[in-house]
Amino acid sequence: MNRLSKIKKYDVTVYKDIEDGELIKTGNSQCVINSEMNDIDIQESISDAYYSASFAINPYFELPKPINEPHINIESCLANFTLEESATKMSEALFKNDVLESAFVNSAEIFVKKIDTKIVSSENANFLN
């Protein structure tokens, strides 16, 4: 059975500086934004994460400054195949050594994902207004 889905999702970490007496501390929280969300859902998710950052408090730290670097593409032996071709290759590898008469692979599930990761800094961005 093939189950294919194409989903874009963004893992967002929100940082918040919090005054604690004379000390400044850094709170953080995370949320997930996906391609099915509308603008209001996105706003609410980020606002909730910003609020939650008030409760996950750590010693103060500075965020790294944004830098502009070229994309690094890390190739794997499966990178140039479709997901279906990759799953077929994995299936063949799994059952290739299933040669014992007294034991066998009864069943297996193979999950194949293509994940592109991009790290973006939006220092001093204000999404809450």
Residue 78's pLDDT band, with cuts at 50, 70 and 90, is confident
Please state the rounded mean pLDDT for residues 1-12: 74
Q: What is the pLDDT of residue 67?
A: 76
Q: Say if pTM beats, i.e. exceeds, 0.75.
A: no
d(CA 90, CA 109): 10
Cβ neighbours of residue 17 closer than 8 Å, sequence gap 6 or more: 24, 25, 26, 27, 60
Q: Which residues lie across from 92 on neighbouring strands?
A: none
Distances from the Cα of 2 to the Cα of 64, 76, 79, 110, 112, angstroms: 42, 23, 19, 10, 11
